[in-house]
Amino acid sequence: VLLYPLVLIDTLKLYDLVLVSLSVFPGFFIMAFIYNLDEQDKEPLWLLAIAFILGGVNLLLDINALEYLLSANTIENYYLNVGMEALTVSITEELLKFLVVILIIYPNKHFDEPFDGIVYSVFVGMGFATIENLTFVLQGSASLAILRMVTAVPAHFVFAVIMGYYLGKAKRKKKGQLVYIFLSILIPVIIHALYDYFLFMELVKGIWIVGIVTLVIALYIAKKSILEHMDASPFKE
């Protein structure tokens, strides 16, 4: 009986450890996956670490920005209100991730092939998603950790791949760079907003399935984008 509190404390520590592991595993798995796909010219680990860390720091900026922006939403119509929330979240999150890549990574000499856009964008996105996941999970449960592992983290992965795809094209093309850079923020924002809109629509039962379908379609697009840029490497023999 006297040892029961100690056993309970150890159990809680183990439970927290499991939650933390569930929250960080998907992001690190995805980063390892993308890193291994970069077969032609590996990116320096120090620059990837910076991308990941800055992605995580972005979450702190995102929380403060969204707290202000969402509180300013006074639209009374439910559907328009949800739409504005989804658009606000998507623009804020994608813009913060975009700024890290375009201002810090894009000008770097190591960004020297199209696939690098995807690699660095994914590391920034996974930094954001991992810290976001960790904050949610520590306030929730194992079921929330598992749910976010198969939804939120893959979603951030998709948004990052598409952003990186267009940044990779911009880096490669001498003409039309600004168009591709604009698309690198516009397309992820649109997909993110659509995904969030159907998930935020709590009053309409079952419509969240449309959000999952949106994610699946976006995953297919991301796969095609990855394969295209892998084949476009100037270092490929």
**Reported confidence tier of residue 141, pLDDT bands at 50, 70, 90:** low
Backbone CA torsion sign across 14, 17, 22, 23 = positive
CB 69 within 8 A of CB 92: yes
Q: What's the confidence (pLDDT) of residue 108? A: 93
The Cα–Cα gap between 139 and 158 comes to: 25
Which residue range forms the structural domain that includes residue 129? Answer: 4-231
| Average pLDDT of the segment spanning 107-129 | 95
Distances in whole angstroms, Cα of residue 140 to Cα of each of 41, 76, 116, 133, 149: 40, 30, 35, 10, 13
Tens of pLDDT, residue by residue over 205-227, are: 889 899 999 999 999 999 999 99
Determine contact, residues 168/117, Cβ cutoff 8 Å: yes
Residue 166 pLDDT: 97
Average pLDDT over residues 39-57: 93
Least Cα distance to 21 among 155, 154, 146 occurs for: 146
Q: Is the pLDDT of residue 6 over 70?
A: no
Q: Residue 168: name the closest of 129, 220, 122, 204 by CA.
A: 122
Residues 31-38, mean pLDDT to the nearest whole number:
95
Q: What is the mean pLDDT of the chain?
A: 87
Confidence of residue 2 (pLDDT cuts 50, 70, 90): very low
Total count of domains within the chain: 1
Question: Tokens standing for 155?
Answer: 């979603």
Q: Which one is predicted more confidently, 186 or 6?
A: 186
Look at residue 237 and tell me if it is in a domain.
no
Which pLDDT value is given to residue 85? 92
Instruction: Tell me the C-alpha distance between 52 and 59, whole Å.
Output: 11
Indicate the pTM of the whole model.
0.89
- Percent pLDDT > 70 in the chain is 91
In-domain check, residue 16: yes
Asked if residue 164 lies in contact with residue 57, where contact means CB atoms within 8 angstroms, the answer is no
Compute the distance between CA of residue 199 and CA of residue 192 in angstroms, rounded to an integer: 11
Radius of gyration of the chain (CA): 19
Residue 19 domain flag: yes
List pLDDT tens digits, range 147-197: 778 888 999 999 999 999 999 999 888 788 999 999 999 999 999 999 999
Residue 236 domain-assigned (yes or no): no
Kindly write down the DSSP assignment for every residue of 59-98, as one continuous string: HHHHHHHHHHHHHT----SHHHHHHHHHHHHHHHHHHHHH
